Chain A
């Protein structure tokens, strides 16, 4: 693919519902990251996948957040029982090991 693809681009949900955000990385990139960016804020690290290694989940803010990466390619970030404070843009990025990160356009989540 031409770049990192994320879907949906926008998601509005009600408090308490579960949401799934998808990331399709650049072909061949073994590293995949999820970050969260609240309005006007920085890039908060959530989770990192590298090849077949165990993911670094140290940034996940609570056990309501989880992510998986199937077949070393597509990744899904799941937020269970969403809260209003989960509202943010969720950015996915991929790279070669320790190389330049290429970001997707992000998924804007709004929890009502």
Chain B
């Protein structure tokens, strides 16, 4: 069926370490892959996105990589800080015509100092 799978569900790292979250999607026609961050008690907000015409995109300490052949994309956070602690969601439109944006189940990242 159409879905977006996200792993791991929880991730604990020490401040300064890197964190990697992975997602897979089912529809090879998908061409837009955003990542949202939701801090405790707040609304989700976009942190980075990538379209299928590129393989990697960076924005300071965060980066997203895309492997269209394998149908997976990953979020990389380097030099993690306590304020990076949040729930991270990947998402994809499940076909090229683009109906609804479907989210993965989320990864709770905890960064300890």
A interface residues (Cβ-Cβ under 8 A, vs B): 33, 35, 41-43, 45, 47-48, 50, 56, 58-59, 91, 97-98, 100-101, 103-106
Closest chain B CB from A29 CB (angstroms): 13
Closest chain B CB from A54 CB (angstroms): 11
For B107, give the chain A residue with the smallest CB separation: A42
Q: Does B53 contact A (CB under 8 A)?
A: no
B89 and A100 contact, CB distance less than 8 A: no
A100 and B46 contact, CB distance less than 8 A: yes
A45 and B100 contact, CB distance less than 8 A: yes
CA distance A104 to B106 in the complex (A): 19
Question: Do A43 and B45 contact each other (CB < 8 Å), given the known contacts A48-B100, A98-B32?
Answer: no
CA distance A11 to B89 in the complex (A): 26
| A106 proximity list for chain B (CB < 8 A) | 43
Closest chain B CB from A17 CB (angstroms): 26
Among candidates A59, A100, A103, A105, residue contacting B34 with C-beta atoms closer than 8 Å: A100
Among candidates A91, A101, A104, residue contacting B101 with C-beta atoms closer than 8 Å: A101
Closest chain B CB from A13 CB (angstroms): 22
A33 and B100 contact, CB distance less than 8 A: yes
B43 and A33 contact, CB distance less than 8 A: no
Question: Do A43 and B89 contact each other (CB < 8 Å), given the known contacts A98-B32, A105-B43, A106-B43?
Answer: yes
B43 and A59 contact, CB distance less than 8 A: no
CA distance A43 to B3 in the complex (A): 12
Q: Does B105 contact A (CB under 8 A)?
A: yes
B99 and A98 contact, CB distance less than 8 A: no
